[in-house]
Structures are given as C-alpha cells and as structure tokens.
Structure 1
Amino acid sequence: MDRNQATGLILFAAVILVYSFFFASAPEIPEVETATTTQTESVQSNAANQSTLTETNSDNDSTMDAARLAKYGVLASMTVGEEKDLTLENDLIQVKISSKGAQVNEVILKEYKSWNMEPLELFNEESSKMDFIIESKNGPLDLNDLYFTSSIESNENEEGVKIQTLTLKSGSESGQIIQTYTLADGSYEVKKSFEIDRYPGVFTGNALALTWEDQVIAQEMNLAESRRQSRLNYYTTSGSFDNLGAGDDLEQETIAEPVKWVSFSQRFFTAAMIADTDFQNVSITQSTPADSSIVRTMATSLSIPLQDGKAGFTYYFGPDKYKTLKKVTDGFEDNVDMGYFFVSWVNKYIIVNLFAFLEKFFTNYGVIIVIIVFLIKLALFPLTYKSYIGMAKMRVIKPEIDELKEKYGDDATKMQQEQMKLFSKLGVSPISGCLPMVLQMPFLFAMFFFFPNAIELRQESFLWATDLSTYDTFFNLPFTIPFYGSHVSMFTLLMTVSQIIYTHFNNQLTTATGPMKNLGYIMPVMFMFILNSYPAGLSFYYFVSNMVTFGQQAMIKLFVDDEKIRAKVEESKLKNVDKKKSKFQQKLENAMKAADNTRKK
C-alpha cells in the first residue's frame, strides 16, 4: 500500500465517523409498541366516556324506576321484560298470543284460504286490538303493559281428545296474575281464564273491562256482497238475538241488559266472545271504511265480572257453518242469516240437513244443487198438480166468466156476486190454483237467504263458474250498466230466459190478461238485474227449478186434458143445482151487498 492509498483510507473512515456521530437518527420504536400505546390511550378515553354514560344511564334508570313505581306500585317489576309470540294450535286453527299482555294477536284458519289463495288470517296485530283493564289502587291497569312468562302442556281428556293448555304468569312473591288458554283438537273454541292470585289490597275493581276493535279483513272477492252479509251480532242472557244493521253509516248501541255473547261476523267467518256467566255494560259500534281491504270496522266495550279474583270466557274463531255454530252455545247459529221466520224453518230443518247428507256422497256442489231441486220438486209435486188443475178449471170456465163480464161489467159488486154463484155451481174455487203456489213460496224464498250464506259453496267450481258462492263472470263488459254491473253472469241469464219461457207457457194455462199477464215477463228481467251480482249457486238453483217445473207441467198436460176437466165441471154443475148456499157464502154475499150500498150512498 503506498502513501496515497493510506491517506485515502484514513479520510474515508473519518467521514463515516463524523456522519455517524452528527446525522444518524435515534433508534426506531417498533410498530407494535406504537399501536399498543394508541390503544392504551383509546381505552383510557373510552373508560372515561363509559363512566360518564353509566352515571347518566344510572340517573335515567333511577328516574324511570321511580316513575314506573309511582304508576304501577308493587306491579312495577312486571312491566319490564321481552315480548315473544307464543303459538297455540290444533288441526283447524293457529292462534298467536303475545307474552306482553297475554292477548291474542293473530288467528289463522288452516282449512280455508282467502279469495286470492293466501292463508286466511281472521285478524292480525295490525287489524285487531284488545285492551283488558282492571282497577288498582294506583289507577287503571292495562294488562298490555305487563310481561308474562309462559308454559305449555298437552294432555288428553276422558274422550281421548288432545288438549293444549298455555299458561301465562306474571308477578312476584307477593302475588301473581295468571292467564290460561285452552284449545282442544277439532275445535274452533279457545277457552280463556283470568285469575288474580293474592295481591291483597292492590286491585280495587270487581270487573275486567275489555275494549276490542277489529278492522274486519276482506276474505272474499265480492266486497259489496261481503259488506251486505257482515254484521255485529249479540245475544242477551234473556234469549234475545239482535245486531247492528248492514248500512254503511256509523252505528252505535248501548245494550241495556246483560249479554251472553258478542260476535264480529262477516259473510263466512266469525270472531266472537262468549261469556261463562254474562257480559255487562256492553256497547257496540260499527262503521264502513273507505279502504277496500277492510269489510267493516267493528268494536265493543264490555265488563267481565270477577268472582274471587277470577273470570272466564270463550273465544270462537271459525267458519259460519250452521251445524258447527249450533253446538257452540245458545243462539250462536243465528250468526248465519237463514231468513225471516216464515222461511227460516225451510233452511234450518230441511236444506241444511239435505246438504250435509248429500255431501257424504257427492263432492260436486253443482250436482248437489240439482239433486236438491229434484227432491224438493218431488216433495211439492202434489201441490204443483193441484195448482195446475185449479188453473185448468178456471181456464175451461172462462166463457161463462166472459158472459158475466158482458152482462154485469159496469156493476163490480154484482159481477163479484154472480161470479161467486158461478164458482159454487161449477164446484170451482178461484184460489185453487193460487193456494198451492203460495204454499210453495217459503221454499222459493228460503234459497234467497241460504245460498249467499252457504260456506259449503265457497271456492267450489262448477262448469264455467269458478266459485259458486259469488257471481260467475261469463264475460266482462267494457262499460258499467247501472244496477247491473260490468259483467254478465251466464247462470243469471239462463235463469231469466227460462223464467220468461215458463211464464209464456203458464199464461196458456191461466186466464190472466192485461197487466197481470205482462207482469210475468217484467219480473224475470227485474231479477236479472238484481241477481247478476249474487252467488252463482243461487241463479243456478232457480234455473234448474224453472226447468224442472216446466217439465212437470208439460208431463201433467199429457195426462190431463181440458175435455176431462170440462166433464168434471159439468158433473159438479148437475150436483149443485139445488145446493144451498153455505154460511160462509151467505156472509160473504151479505158483506158485498153492504159494501155496495155504502158505496152508493
């Protein structure tokens, strides 16, 4: 190594030493250690904030607890909890009950679907609201403010029927409030009991006050028909049934006497409360909302008497099936409108049982309707025969009647007197043709009430009708005809045509003239407008009935001719030549003479 090289190495080493001494940075802190320091600072900050928040929450809880304690007293602890949905169900219904308040929130009928084939919710938490209130020393207590713990058990009764019991309890060592629901297989009835266990001096009321409001959910396509058949019904302990009308206006009523049951009854389904003893102070309200998804808004407020801190009643959530309702309690079958007293017996004792019997053998309800028509017409055939013969007699003596009209046409009283004499001599009764028809009228009008309320026809199809419980739409019109609608019901059209044909045929058998003759043609047209939006099953029944009646009269005409009837009339004429007037005839003639004299004076 020469001198120059040695000098260079020494200078290079000196530069490195100087740089290291003056310019090198301090040792780096590891990254993990820096993060830990940041976390420590954050934890300290959060701890400080949490401490402040805890103090604030503690103050709020103290204030809240004080307010709750002031409002609920010893029941304050029962107002804190978690709301859960509890389910009680059998093969027919599913009932959802909330742990808050232990009230029914939702009911689903498993056997049925809504008109758009969705699960049929009789009501739900949005459409129905129940409030049970009891007086306490701290003021009115709403049970919906309390939380309940639940337990459910299943067992069998003596008949081997499975029964589910849901028990909901709320309270402390000083006492409990117990609500129990019981549901048996094959039943639409949910029994509920309410009990106050201990709590001496806490509850001051002797009744449980209920307010129940339900926006009845539309289950059928035809909203107008559903509203027409929906009512708020009630039945008093004295055995009187009544309801609010079917109008659209707000209706209210306070019932003066105790009530056995109250029901929110729409066209095919009912939600009801049935007392173990009675309901008192009952008020009911009904109105029709603008919302097309709601049939009606119905509400009731009532008191349930407490005996030794206990009360009980039964819910009914199910179909309006006459035989099913009849088994529930007294008068409950009246939720199905069977018509006025002079026709209701036909539906209650004949048609309902016929339907139930034929359902065992036939699944097509169009066929069942046809069979019912034939059975009824067969049973009423003697009356039909007598009616035909009576009208035929009046027809064959028409020449004699025309003679009297020519002779006494200007004297109505004399005309009537001479007609009565003629009828007596010929052995003809002017009402012989009408009376059998009048006796058949209850069967004719009974169907007008039965078919719109027959749940058996609901969503049952036949031919082109997809649902016999509502109108059949053969085709839709591009416009709306007043009082008719925007659709054409083919069954209603067939019924109208058949009635006009029957009227034409019937006019050939009677002596009807003038307005009475034309009335037979006007009525079918009027009914075409009325029944166009009624159930297809009703129009189909009337159509088949007209055709069978037409066939019966055609058959009778084959075996009974006018010559034979005329011969019988002449035979009666000979027998009655010397016949004295009956007391009734004499009284009738005297009354007519007296009326004529009064008119002349």
Structure 2
Amino acid sequence: MDRNQATGLILFAAVILIYSLFFASSPEIPEAETPTASQTESVESNASNQASSPELAVANDSTLDAARRAKYGVLAALTQGEEEVFTLENDQIQVHISSKGAGVDQVILKEYKNSKAEPLVLFNEESSKMDFVLASNNGPLNLNELFFTASTENGQTEEGVPTQTLVLKASTASGEIVQRYTLADESYQVQKTISIDRFQNIFTGNAITVNWDEQLIAQESNLAESRRQSRLNYYTNSGSFDNLGSGDDLEQEQLEESVKWISFSQRFFSAAMIAEGDFQNVALSQSTPEDSSIVRNMTASFNIPLQDGQTGFTYYFGPDKYKVLKKVTDGFEDNVDMGYFFVSWVNKYIIVNLFAFLENIFSNYGVIIIVIVFLIKLALFPLTYKSYIGMAKMRVIKPEIDELKEKYGEDPTKMQQEQMKLFSKLGVSPISGCLPMVLQMPFLFAMFFFFPNAIELRQESFLWATDLSTYDTFFNLPFTIPFYGSHVSLFTLLMTASQIIYTHFNNQLTTATGPMKNLGYIMPVMFMFILNSYPAGLSFYYFVSNMVTFGQQALIKQFVDDDKIRAKVEESKAKNANKKKSKFQQKLEDAMKAADNSRKK
C-alpha cells in the first residue's frame, strides 16, 4: 500500500469516527412486551403442569387405586389388564373366550351357513350378554369385571375322545378364581367349571347368580317362520318339559321348581345351559323386537349352587337335530317340536330313523321325500284296501238305505234303529270305510310337525325350490292377500289341485251327499292358504301322497267288482236271516228307545 492510499484510509476512518461521536443518536432499548391475561394464565398453567404433572399423575393413580380397593377389596388388582381372546375349536364349532371375565364372546357353527351364505354366527358379544355375579363383603361382584390369564391343556374323555381345555385364572395373594372350558372332538358341548380357592370371608354367598340376555340373530330368510318356531325351553328336575311359547307379546315367568336345563332355541339352532345339579330361582322372559335382524329377545336369571367353592355346567351350541339332541341329556330332544302326543310317536320312532337311513342312500332330499311317501303308503296299504272295500259295500247297499229314508225319514230314532238292523243283516259296518282312514291320520299330521323342524332340509334344493325348509316362490305378487301372502307357492298349488281331484274321485266311491260332499272341496282350498308360507318340503310331501293314494285306489278299482261285493252282501244277508241280536246290539237299541221316549216326553 503506498503513502496516498494509507493517508486516504486514515482520513476516511477519522470522518466516520467523528460522525459517530457527534451526529449519530444513541440506540433505543425496546420496551418489554406486556403479556395478556390469557397468555399469562397459559404460561403459568404450563409451568405449573410441568412442575407438578408427575405428582398429579401419582395422585390420580392413587385415587383410582383407592376407588378400586374400596369397590373390589383384595380383588382390585384383578380389574386391570389387557383383554385377549382365546379360541376352542373342533370340526363342528368355534368358541371365542375373552380373558376379561373368562366368558364366551362368540360361537360359530362351522358346518352351517346363514341365509346369506355367510358363516353362521350363533351369537356374538353384541347380541349376547352373560353375567356371573358373586355376593361379596364389598357388594355384588361380576366376574366379567376381572381379568384372567390363560393356559391350555390337552386330554381325552373316558371313551378316549381327544379334548382341549382352556384354563383361565385370576390370582392374588388372598386366593384364586379358576374357570375351565373343555371341548371334545366331534361335539357341540362345552363343559365349564368355576372354582374359588381361599378368599376367606370375602365371598359371602353360596351360589353364583347368572343373568343371561340373548338376542337371537336371524339365520333364515323366512323371519315369520323362524319366529313361529322359536321357543325359550326348559326342563325341570321332576322331568317336565315346558316353554314360554311363541307369542309376539312380552312373556315372563318365575318358576317355582328348580330346572335341569334352559335353552334359547330358534327353529334350527339352540344355545343352552345344562346344570350338573340344578338351576334355582329361575326367572324367564321373552319378547319379539321390531328389528328384522333379530328373531327374539330372551332372558334367563337363575342361581347355580356352590359346593365347597366349586360348581359346573355344560353349554350346548349347535343344531336342533333330534338324534344329536337325544344324546345330550334327559328331555333335551324336546327342543325339536315333534307334535302332540298322539302323533309325536310317528316322528320319533319312525320318520326320524327312516329319514336318517335314506340319507345314507340318496343325496337328493326331494327323492328322499318321494321314497318316504311310497314306503309309508306301502305299509298302510292293507288299511287303504279295507277302507276302499268298506266304502264299496256302503255304495252297493245305498238302495236299501234310500228305502229306509223314505219310510222313516221323519223319525230319526227309528231311522237309526232300522239302519242298524240293516247293517247287521247285511254284514256291513258303517265305520269300515272310515276307521282305516282314521288310523292313517297320525302319519298325515305327523308330517305337519316334522318338515317345519327338519334341519336336514335346510338349504337343500329340489326342482324350482331353492330351500325345502321354507316356501318355494314360483312368482311374487304385487300385492298381499290376507292369510295368503305376497307370493305363490307352486308346490302348494299342486297339492291343492291333487286333493281336489282325489276328493272328486273319492266322492264317486262313497254315498256322501250334501255338506259332507262339499266339505271335501273346501278343505283343500283352506289348506292352500295355510300351507302357502309353510316349507316346500311339506307341500311336496302332501302332493306326492295324494297322487300315490289316487293311484292306489285306481289300482284297487281294477280288481274290485261291485257285483262281487253285492254277491257277498247277499250271502251275508241269507246267513244272518235267523241270527239273534247280540247283547251289545240289544243294549244299544234299548238305550236308543229310552232316549227317544225321553225326547217325546
């Protein structure tokens, strides 16, 4: 750097220094910002929280623990935990059990589908609630509020069938509560035991109170039929079966007698509890909801006695299949409605076994129904033949009966007496044509109960019917006909037409006149309305039965000649010409005369 540059820089620095000393203002100090009230509160709050949050958390936990201890006592520690779900499973069912409460949350029947072809969930945690309540010195304790730890065990039954067991324990230093679930292979039954070890002076009762509340999930497309066939069934320790019925209104009942089992049944499936000893103080109720996804609301409340801190019972989660239910426990097969006592024997001892036998031979259930009709008609053919001969005899003696009507028509008593003499003389019984038909009636009515409850027909198709367990819809109507519905069942129409044809044919063989003759045409029309919404399998059975009966009578007619029957009647007439009256006939005539004299007086 030369002398001139150095001189210039010095002068430039001097000018700047002089200017800064004499002309530049001093720097302003900014005013401190005054915080707003909200900002102050926020800052103070944050500072306070930062300073005291650990202490506050400790205080909250302490308060929570104190509240738990006050409510649950030594069990307070068991009310905290993380819920897990465990599964017991075989080829038939899948049972989900929660670690919270160790209760059954969901059951899936693996062999079946619902009407939407989805897995059949018998119930889930939304539709079912089951509380197990113990009396304690801190008040009622619901086991569903406790958390359990789980372990599994494998074993086998006395018959050597493999089993799996889920053991759930809730333990403290004061004692232990253990709930065990055991499921065997190829079974719909889940055995459950509850045991309480120690907890001296904590549990004050000698029974567990069960509150079971269930919404039956709709599994079938025909909701009306499902509701009609749903029942809250129970079986008392004295061996009596009963239920709350199938009405739509709320039904409630407090049972005076202890109960062996309780079942929530909806047509084809049941969820049930079966006692090892008995269920006491049983209160039941059921109602029909407006929700179309729910068949019925059912509730049961009862006590299970504890013996030395232990008790047990068995769940049944499965189909209402007669042969399966019969193996469960006494009276459990009554969950399937087989009809009144005078027809139930037909279903229990004949149809059920015959159906099971034919299932091993035929895979098509329409064919099975046809074969059942032929086998029953073949077995009852002797009765059908006797009925036909009896009606034929009444037909050939109709001229003699008409003569009596002309002669004694105004005197009913005399007419009856003379008719009896005529029947005795000709060797004809007025009930010979009716009695064989009456003996066949149990089979006819038995089917009215069997087919609506036959789970074997569920979701089985035949011809145009996609499901033989419900009505076949040939076409839908744009309107609803009272007592008929908004659909047309073709099987029901075929049944009605075949019955009318059979009635017309039958009237040619009998002496029926007037109202009795017309009644045969009215009944098929009435059944057309009744059966239109019943299972297609039932209408198809009646249709095939009518056609086979018609064929039987047409065949018999080819081998039975009215002239030969008349000859036999004349032979009996000659043989009985000098026959004395039997004591029974004499007493009957005397009784009729006495009744006639009393009427005249």
What's the TM-score bracket when you normalise by the shorter of the two chains?
A: over 0.9
| 1: CA distance, partners of 2:144 / 2:15 | 86
Residues in 2 aligned to 1:567 and 1:15: alpha-carbon distance in whole angstroms: 163
Structure 1 residue 13, shift from structure 2 partner = 7.7
Aligned-partner Cα distance in 1 for 2:322–2:241: 16
Aligned to 1:270: 270
CA shift for structure 1 position 10: 4.7
CA–CA distance in structure 2, aligned partners of residues 354 and 17 of structure 1? 128
Inter-CA distance 19–412: structure 2 relative to 1 (3 Å threshold): farther
Q: Which amino acid aligns with 1:231?
A: R
Per the alignment, residue 321 of structure 2 pairs with 321
AA aligned opposite 2:361: F
Q: CA deviation at 1:51?
A: 4.5
Opposite residue 55 of structure 1, the aligned amino acid is E
How far apart, CA to CA, are the structure 2 residues paired with 1:47 and 1:307?
60
For 1:347, the equivalent position in structure 2 comes to 347
Q: Which amino acid aligns with 2:558?
A: L
**1:544-570 CA-partner distances (Å, limit 9, x unpaired):** 000000000000000001111111101
Q: CA deviation at 1:7?
A: 3.3
Change (3 A) 1:157 1:246: closer
* 1:319-342 Cα distance to aligned partner (Å, 9 max, x none): 000000000000000000000000
TM-fit CA distance, 1:19? 7.8
Aligned to 1:128: 128
In the TM superposition, what are the counterparts of 1:251-262 in structure 2 within 5 Å? Answer: 251-262=251-262
Spell out the pairing of 1:161-560 with structure 2 (5 A cutoff).
161-560=161-560
TM-score, structure 1 as length reference? 0.94
Partners in 1 of 2:17 and 2:282 — Cα distance?
101
Question: AA paired with 1:369?
Answer: I
Secondary structure of the equivalent of 1:201?
coil
Find the residue that maps to 2:201 and give its secondary structure.
Answer: coil
- 1:17 to partner: Cα distance: 9.7
TM-score (norm 2): 0.94
Q: Are residue 599 (structure 1) and residue 590 (structure 2) matched?
A: no
- Are the counterparts in 1 of residues 191 and 313 from structure 2 also a CA contact under 8 Å? yes
1:70 to 1:14, Cα distance in 2 relative to 1, 3 A: same
Aligned counterparts of 1:457 and 1:527: Cα–Cα separation in 2: 22
Residues 1:7 and 2:4 are matched in the alignment: yes
RMSD, matched Cα? 1.9
The total of aligned residue pairs comes to 578
Instruction: State the Cα distance separating 1:173 from its structure 2 match.
Output: 2.2
- Within 1, Cα distance between the matches of 2:485 and 2:7? 117
Deviation track 1:259-304 (CA, whole Å, cap 9, x = no partner) reads 0000001100000000001110011001111111111100000000
Task: Point out where structure 2 has 5 or more consecutive residues left out of the alignment.
Answer: 21-44
Q: Equivalent residue for 1:586?
A: 586
Q: 1:89 matched to which residue of 2?
A: 89
Letter in 1 for 2:517: K
d(CA) in 1 for partners of 2:591, 2:344: 37
The amino acid across from 1:164 in the alignment is Q
TM-superposed CA distance for 1:62, in Å, is 1.0
Give the AA of the match of 2:368.
I
Please tell me the residue identity of whatever aligns with 2:566: R
2:138 alignment partner AA: N
Distance in structure 1 (CA, Å) of the matches to 2:521 and 2:541? 20
Question: Offset of 1:365 from its aligned partner?
Answer: 0.3
Q: Is the 8 A contact 2:166 2:182 kept in 1?
A: yes
Taking the TM superposition and a 5 Å limit, the aligned residue runs for 1:14-163 are 15=12, 49-157=49-157, 159-163=159-163
What is the CA distance between 1:52 and its match in structure 2? 2.2
Query: Are the structure 2 counterparts of residues 18 and 365 from structure 1 closer, same or farther at C-alpha, using a change threshold of 3 Å?
Result: farther
* C-alpha distance in structure 2 between counterparts of 1:521 and 1:16, whole Å: 134
Which residue identity does 1:448 align to in structure 2? F
Q: 1:50 to 1:100 in 2, by over 3 A?
A: farther
1:470 alignment partner, SS class: coil
Q: Deviations over 1:107-152 (max 9, x none)?
A: 1100001111111111110111011001111111111111100111
Which sits farther off after the overlay, 426-435 or 475-484?
475-484
Equivalence for 1:36 = none
Corresponding letter in the other structure for 1:333: E
Shift of 1:18: 8.1
Aligned partner of 1:30 in structure 2 is none
Q: 1:373 to 1:13 in 2, by over 3 A?
A: farther
Cα distance between partner residues in 1 of 2:431 and 2:216: 49
The answer as to whether partners of 2:425 and 2:576 remain within 8 angstroms in 1 is yes
Distance 2:260 2:208 in 1: 16
Distance 1:17 1:458 in 2: 112
1:50 Cα deviation (Å)? 4.6
Matched residue SS, 2:429: coil
Q: What SS does the aligned partner of 1:438 have? A: helix
SS of 1:256's partner is: coil
Question: Hey, what's the Cα distance between the residues in 2 that align with 1:387 and 1:233?
Answer: 41
- Partners of 1:133 and 1:13 in 2: CA distance: 101
Give the gaps of 5 or more residues in structure 1.
Answer: 23-44
Aligned equivalents of 2:280 and 2:118: distance in 1? 38
Q: For the Cα contact (< 8 Å) 2:176–2:197, is it kept in 1?
A: yes
Deviation at 1:156, TM superposition (A): 3.4
3-state DSSP class of the match of 2:325? helix
**Equivalent pair of 2:157/2:184 in contact (CA under 8 Å):** no
Q: Which residue of 2 aligns with 1:32?
A: none
Which amino acid in structure 2 is aligned with residue 433 of structure 1? G
Letter in 2 for 1:100: K
Residue identity opposite 1:445 in structure 2: F
1:570 aligns with 2:540: no
1:43-70 CA deviation, whole Å, 9 max, x = no partner? xx98974552222221111111111111
| Structure 1, 552-561 or 53-62: larger mean CA deviation | 53-62
Q: SS at the partner of 2:345?
A: helix
Q: Which amino acid aligns with 1:542?
A: Y
Amino acid at match of 1:281: N
> Shift in Å at residue 12 of structure 1?
5.7
Q: Residue 486 of structure 1: SS of its match in structure 2?
A: strand
Aligned to 1:519, the other structure's residue is in SS state helix
